């Protein structure tokens, strides 16, 4: 079991400190602290408008070693992270820690800032593209800290991850800091991730490409949380922020998996009035939503809510009366943006309301079912969405671990293989989401039910679902597959730790060691 | 100057502690702290629904000496404060401090709780009726602390006034704590004052008479801030919560004063695009709004916003396009409630966003003009809205001191006399709002301009406004008036301090000594 040894987590990691190891999922209540925030009150009548991002860095007193946060509603169209770090580099700042809620290929210039020591620490819930590869290659001085969306909210609100300056990409803002995501050329919809940052950061800078007369309305984030406002030509590339439409998979295997997943939800007895649902924006997930919608129509079921990142397809379900309301942390397409702007039952939610395990109850805890993806699933139902099978970083939890824990029925949908590589493995290369929070794995060859959910397995069998042992799916997955090349465990252990995967409660559930190389 | 001596403020007051005296209005920025909040995270899947208010007191672990907060959106129709204190008394709790944002005649049962020692401390921004008289008569063990609305938000957020349990009167709520004020039989509209309490209290209890399926939508206050939910038959008397309509004064003197006030705003050069405005719901204030609206129409001016407690009349101005948006901390009538529910440009605001002097900029700071009332104005432009001239408590600042400080042009409108009693006096009986923040006093006999605002006086004179010295208004006010019966200063000083009037920054601007008696 090479991977278990790869998951041997040390007590102490250079550049991270003392490690608190993951020791199982707690659903108990506990005393928690929303940390104090030290800020500067407004001087009555003072202007908050600054000439540029450099001026904002100065006004906020950013020094070497500061922590800057960002949010990812602009996704792969985001300009702000690059703009801020370019100014920081120009000022000779070093040793910055950044805490973007996610990092995309567009953030490739960050690689150079890692190389030069402008940025030496990264906290994020998701990272794809050149920055991920650079982290795996060991270019970042301190290990990157990979969180879940809810874990990030928890860390920031609890003071575990103090933010010196939060930069907010504001599609619309006024000169006093009222801002929203629904208007302007870079409209992205809900600003759910940023909601957490503005309440906990010592300083908050709104950067906008649509400066409007006071007061910007709606005020998704209001002036009492914003220190400075900067106008720039473009905060993002609109074509990359939201797609015009999201599309259901057309692949027959994907459709079969999706249909099975919908049948599982039905067989589990969840498709009754009040049903609640979350899924991602991937092709199979969208297909699941389609089939679930059909079943809801057939059964005349009205759901209570759908949550998460919201697509036009979910908006259609809202408008068709299949759900009474939406909780939206992030809009995935233009239809969702418009609906969020115009429909009061399409509500925004902060990342904390979405998934923080340490508040008085996240929306994730009220989910009936969640449709999850997987890069790998292992025989303990553990899921990896953090690395490729070669150990190279390529994603992260996002809301995966949060919703798996919160939902009554957490369903992983996956093909048995990705190309020639098996997806059902002995042990996941990197542990993102613990198997104890995964209820069902749905593949084209049948459905495996977590042994912890015996009563569920019985229900599914009774409903005619093809329930098979996970070992059977594993065998099928491995048949004719290219063998995974595993390095010698001892050699692996000797490699430097380049990232830590935190569970949502802040404990370390896995470590990533140096892998791959920079081109 | 008997009143100056009455305003001699000791260094220490029993039951309050060390006194920090008001020493002038600061508009400078300062380092401020949003205090940490210690709460209990939700146990996943646990129910928040409790059987009654007594169960909520138990679940929150309320003990002798605890501080309970309330909000006053139900105004004189509120049932919740009485319900909670009755349960507290039944449990034998003693020495509670309560922090309602305002107290009304309906809260008369509180007098008995003061007598029996169930309640020994009160923090509030406004108190009228039997409770006010009981405080003045000395029935409360500790001196009451009178704050402004913004000062209350500041005190709670900064941790100066820690709240053990916030009780939220929720016109609509679900079993998990999402709640709003716009639906249900007790709909009151914006829950602006409660917004502050839920973010800073250790425990939050929502009490509703309209329990709806999850999730209540809109979620003005969301589940992540609510520990427990209790359903009761009635949280309030709908007929007393909001009036069917608010009415412009019909009194010719009042109308004349209002017309002059509107002319002053115009002459000050403020009636240009972007104009912002706040007024109360009194007859003269409503008349000012009417005349201002006419001037805006005539001049084709579009204002940026109106703020504060919102009336149907202000809603009319919004719908007529005279303002682009509203900031609403509290709805004064049914028309405002409906507009707040249905019109996205009619925005809610928290009490902190409204008026907290220690955040990053309150809406009050962006006001062009504010129309204020007065029980008394003195020769230094100081205003009393806290006591009658006999020193008996009958109100408090509410937003008076906040908006006077924030607005560019703070206008007091007042008749010269109330019945036979002069309203322009040598020195106010109780100092609520410092004269340095009052720009103009408008009466039926002319307009006095604060000597600090020479340029304004010149503008008004040039525009033909009848500008007169305040001493002249004082003389007219005193003519044929019943003399104010002033007790001997030494006798006054010997009386017990029954309340402290705080300025919005938390310094003590005046003290109230025992006065009047209980019937």
Q: Taking CB atoms and an 8 Å limit, are A217 and B361 in contact across chains?
A: no
Residues in CB range of A51: below 8 A, 6 or more apart: A230
Residue ranges per structural domain of chain A: 32-241, 252-486
Where b means 16+ CB within 10 Å and e means fewer, A351-386 reads bbbbbbbbbbbbbbbbbbbbbbbbbbbbbbbbbbbb
Which is it for strands B417-418 and B228-231: parallel, antiparallel or unpaired?
Answer: unpaired
**CATH code of domain A252-486:** 3.40.1080.10
Q: Which of the four pLDDT bands, split at 50, 70 and 90, describes residue B485?
A: low
Take residue B510 and report the two structure tokens written for it.
């005046």
Half-sphere exposure (Cβ direction) of B328: Cα atoms closer than 13 Å = 34
Q: Which residue of A has its CA nearest to B366?
A: A45
Rounded mean pLDDT, B95-122: 98
Rounded mean pLDDT, A294-312: 97
- pLDDT number for residue B299: 97
Phi, psi of B503, rounded to the nearest 5 degrees: -80, 170
Take residue A445 and report the two structure tokens written for it.
């060859």
Q: Which of the four pLDDT bands, split at 50, 70 and 90, describes residue A318?
A: very high
Rounded mean pLDDT, A338-361: 97
Take residue A97 and report the two structure tokens written for it.
């820690």
Give the CA distances from residue A310 to residues A263, A313, A314, A397, A398, in Å, rounded to whole numbers and listed in that order. Answer: 22, 8, 6, 17, 14
| Secondary structure (DSSP) of B79-95 | -HHHHHHHHHHHTT--S
Q: To the nearest whole angstrom, how far is the Cα of A256 from the nearest Cα of chain B? A: 32
Instruction: Determine contact: B381 vs chain A, CB below 8 A.
Output: no
Asked if A405 contacts A437 with a C-beta cutoff of 8 angstroms, the reply is yes
Take residue B10 and report the two structure tokens written for it.
């000791």
Asked if B318 contacts A186 with a C-beta cutoff of 8 angstroms, the reply is no
Q: Taking CB atoms and an 8 Å limit, are B42 and A219 in contact across chains?
A: no
Distance CA(B78)–CA(B99), nearest Å, equals 15
Q: Does the pLDDT at position B461 exceed 50?
A: yes
Q: Which of the four pLDDT bands, split at 50, 70 and 90, describes residue A6?
A: very low
User: pLDDT tens digits, residue range B138-151?
Assistant: 999 999 999 999 99
Q: Given B159, B349, B360, which is nearest A42 (Cβ)?
A: B360
Q: What residue spans of A91-205 are helical by DSSP H?
A: 109-116, 130-137, 149-158, 192-200
- pLDDT number for residue B398: 97
Take residue B334 and report the two structure tokens written for it.
């049914």
User: pLDDT tens digits, residue range B395-453?
Assistant: 999 999 999 999 999 999 999 999 889 999 999 999 999 999 999 999 999 999 999 99
Residues, chain B = 519
Chain A contact set for B350 (CB, 8 A)? 224
Residue with tokens 């020994």: B120
Q: Does the pLDDT at position A177 exceed 80?
A: yes
Ranges of beta strands (E only) in B266-322 are 276-278, 303-310
Q: Bridge partners of A512?
A: A499
Take residue A180 and report the two structure tokens written for it.
């929203």
Of B381, B511, B266, nearest to B25 by C-alpha is: B381
Q: Which of the four pLDDT bands, split at 50, 70 and 90, describes residue B317?
A: very high
What is the percent of chain A where pLDDT is above 90?
A: 89
A32-241 and A252-486 have identical folds: yes
CB atoms closer than 10 angstroms to residue B518: 12
Chain A contact set for B33 (CB, 8 A)? 36-39
Q: Taking CB atoms and an 8 Å limit, are A39 and B177 in contact across chains?
A: no
Q: Taking CB atoms and an 8 Å limit, are A45 and B365 in contact across chains?
A: yes
Q: Which of the four pLDDT bands, split at 50, 70 and 90, describes residue B1?
A: very low
Distance CA(B223)–CA(B48), nearest Å, equals 10
Q: Which has more confidence, A44 or B119?
A: B119
Ranges of beta strands (E only) in A253-385 are 276-278, 303-310, 323-331, 346-348, 369-372, 376-378, 383-384
Take residue B206 and report the two structure tokens written for it.
């929502």
Residue with tokens 């608010």: B246
Asked if A91 contacts A97 with a C-beta cutoff of 8 angstroms, the reply is no
Q: To the nearest whole angstrom, how far is the Cα of B202 from the nearest Cα of chain A? A: 10
Asked if A123 contacts A147 with a C-beta cutoff of 8 angstroms, the reply is yes
Q: Given B44, B274, B365, which is nearest A365 (Cβ)?
A: B44
Q: What residue spans of B98-166 are helical by DSSP H?
A: 109-116, 130-137, 149-158
User: pLDDT tens digits, residue range B26-74?
Assistant: 989 999 999 999 999 988 778 999 999 999 999 999 999 999 999 999 9
Take residue B516 and report the two structure tokens written for it.
């009047």
Domain B48-239 is in which class? alpha beta
Interface of A with B in 145-204 (CB under 8 A): 159, 176-177, 204
Ranges of beta strands (E only) in B255-302 are 276-278
Q: Does the pLDDT at position B497 exceed 70?
A: yes
Residues in CB range of B103: below 8 A, 6 or more apart: B72, B81, B110, B122, B124, B126, B127, B128, B129, B131, B132
User: pLDDT tens digits, residue range B208-260?
Assistant: 999 999 999 999 999 999 999 999 999 999 788 876 666 788 899 999 999 99
Q: Which CATH number fits domain A32-241: 3.40.1080.10, 3.10.450.50, 3.20.10.10, 3.30.413.10?
A: 3.40.1080.10
Q: Which CATH number fits domain B252-495: 3.90.580.10, 3.40.50.150, 3.40.50.2000, 3.40.1080.10?
A: 3.40.1080.10
Instruction: Determine contact: B338 vs chain A, CB below 8 A.
Output: no
CB atoms closer than 10 angstroms to residue A256: 17
Asked if A177 contacts A227 with a C-beta cutoff of 8 angstroms, the reply is yes
- pLDDT number for residue B148: 98
Q: Which has more confidence, A493 or A36?
A: A36
Q: Does the pLDDT at position A258 exceed 60?
A: yes
């Amino acid at each position: 079991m090479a991977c278990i040894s790869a998951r041997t987590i040390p007590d102490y990691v250079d550049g991270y400190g003392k490690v608190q190891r993951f020791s199982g999922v707690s659903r108990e209540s506990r005393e928690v602290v929303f940390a104090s925030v030290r800020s500067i009150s407004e001087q009555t009548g003072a202007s908050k408008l600054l000439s540029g991002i450099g001026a904002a860095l100065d006004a906020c007193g950013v020094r070497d070693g500061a922590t800057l946060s960002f949010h990812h509603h602009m996704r792969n169209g985001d300009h702000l992270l690059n703009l801020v770090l370019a100014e920081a580099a120009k000022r000779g700042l070093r040793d910055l820690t950044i805490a973007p809620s996610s990092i995309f290929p567009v953030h490739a210039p960050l690689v150079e800032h890692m190389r030069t020591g402008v940025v030496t620490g990264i906290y994020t819930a998701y990272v794809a593209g050149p920055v991920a590869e650079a982290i795996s290659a060991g270019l970042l001085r301190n290990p990157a800290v990979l969180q879940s969306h809810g874990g990030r909210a928890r860390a920031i609100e609890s003071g575990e991850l103090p933010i010196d300056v939060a930069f907010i990409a504001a599609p619309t803002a006024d000169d006093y800091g009222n801002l929203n995501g629904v208007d302007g050329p870079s409209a992205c919809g809900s600003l759910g991730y940023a909601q957490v940052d503005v309440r906990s950061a010592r300083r908050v800078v709104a950067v906008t490409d649509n400066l409007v007369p006071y007061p910007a309305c709606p005020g998704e984030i209001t002036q009492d949380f914003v220190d400075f406002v900067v106008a720039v030509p473009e905060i993002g590339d609109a074509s990359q922020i939201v797609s015009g439409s999201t599309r259901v998979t057309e692949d027959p295997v994907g459709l079969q998996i999706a249909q099975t997943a919908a049948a599982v939800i039905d067989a589990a007895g969840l498709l009754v009035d009040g049903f609640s649902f979350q899924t991602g924006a991937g092709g199979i997930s969208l297909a699941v939503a389609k089939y679930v919608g059909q079943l809801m129509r057939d059964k005349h079921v009205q759901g209570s809510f759908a949550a998460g990142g919201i697509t036009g397809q979910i908006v259609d379900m809202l408008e068709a009366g299949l759900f009474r309301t939406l909780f939206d942390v992030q809009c995935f397409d233009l239809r969702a943006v418009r609906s969020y702007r115009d429909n009061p039952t399409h509500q925004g939610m902060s990342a904390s309301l979405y998934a923080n395990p340490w508040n008085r109850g996240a929306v994730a805890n009220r989910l009936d079912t969640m449709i999850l993806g997987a890069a790998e699933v292992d025989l303990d139902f553990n899921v990896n969405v953090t690395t490729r099978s070669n150990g190279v970083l390529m994603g992260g939890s996002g809301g995966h671990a949060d919703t798996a824990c919160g939902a009554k029925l957490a369903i992983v949908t996956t093909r048995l293989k990705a190309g020639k590589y098996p997806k059902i493995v002995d042990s996941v290369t990197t542990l993102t989401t613990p198997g104890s929070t995964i209820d069902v794995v749905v593949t084209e060859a049948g459905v495996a039910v977590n042994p912890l959910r015996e009563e569920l397995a019985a229900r599914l069998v009774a409903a005619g679902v093809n329930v098979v042992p996970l070992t059977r799916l594993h065998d099928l997955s491995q048949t004719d597959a290219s063998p995974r090349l595993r390095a010698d465990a001892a050699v692996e252990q000797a490699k430097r730790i380049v990232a830590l995967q935190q569970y949502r409660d802040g404990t370390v559930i896995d470590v990533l060691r140096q892998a791959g190389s920079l081109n």
